Amino acid sequence: MRGLERNSLRELGLSVVAAYRRPIGAAAFADRLAAEGVSMSPASAGRLLAELEKDGFLEQESNKGRVLSERGRLLVQERQQQEGREVAARRFLDELSCDAPEKIIEVLVARRAIERETCRLAAERAKEQEMEEIATFAAILDTSQHVSREHVAVVDRKFHQAIARAGGNRVLAAALDLIFRDRDLLAMTMSFRKRRGALPPENGHRAIAEAIARRDPDEAEKALLRHLGYIIGEVEALAAERDDGDRSGFSEDEGHAGNNARENSTGSHS
């Protein structure tokens, strides 16, 4: 028998019954489970059907066999929706996996669309404690010339996520969290900006934080657009350099920077 926990076996059993589309008996149930890689005798299959019926997920249809109950249909539907969301999330994360400036530009443009709204919302809704947290992160980032780029990458992620949370829109915050799951992205961006000498003394984080503190959504949005617009411009410049003959991509050290950022930020979803 394929190694399955009891709950997973029950979920598989309900999926088999749902896919059968007519009343199913123990023998047919055992055959269908075998096709899914689970070897089970008809007697054991019958006991699993009886267990699922007892728990309210199946019901008898005269003497023909068992079918899904309303509760069973809802559970199967919920599981299918969850699997669909997981597939969509994996596909989205695959799109975020990037080792070229062109792909980073696409991700930064997506961030710009999301974060112009989260900044506006934060200016309107942020609590005092949230504004203090945002300001603290901004101060670290805008005086970070002598801080390791791995640490800067982690703090930058926390800064933007804190703004999204303060805005109170859970959908936008979740979308930004998905983007930041690719820990390599920000580290790579920081790395080649540093290689190009593109880290200015003032990165614009304070301007965003101060506009939020003043409850000025228009200025908060403008400050965010200036900040991300600057970064996008630097990535576009790197892409142009590569088009002119520099095809080396990111250096091995930059790849290590991404790995270190992932290790340093594991479990620190703030």
Burial class (CB in 10 A: 0-12, 13-18, 19+), 237: middle
pTM of the model as a whole:
0.57
The DSSP code sequence of 25-40 is: -HHHHHHHHHHTT---
Amino acid at 223: A
pLDDT digits (tens, 9 = 90+) for 2-43: 445 777 888 899 999 999 989 999 999 999 999 888 888 999
pLDDT in tens, the chain (270 residues): 444 577 788 889 999 999 998 999 999 999 999 988 888 899 999 999 999 999 999 999 888 899 999 999 999 988 888 777 666 656 655 655 555 677 778 888 999 999 999 999 999 999 999 999 999 999 888 876 555 666 777 888 899 999 999 999 999 999 998 888 765 565 555 555 555 454 544 568 999 999 999 999 999 999 999 999 988 888 788 777 766 655 444 443 444 434 443 344 434 333
Residue 188, pLDDT score: 58
**By C-alpha distance, which of 72, 58, 74 is closest to 25?**
58
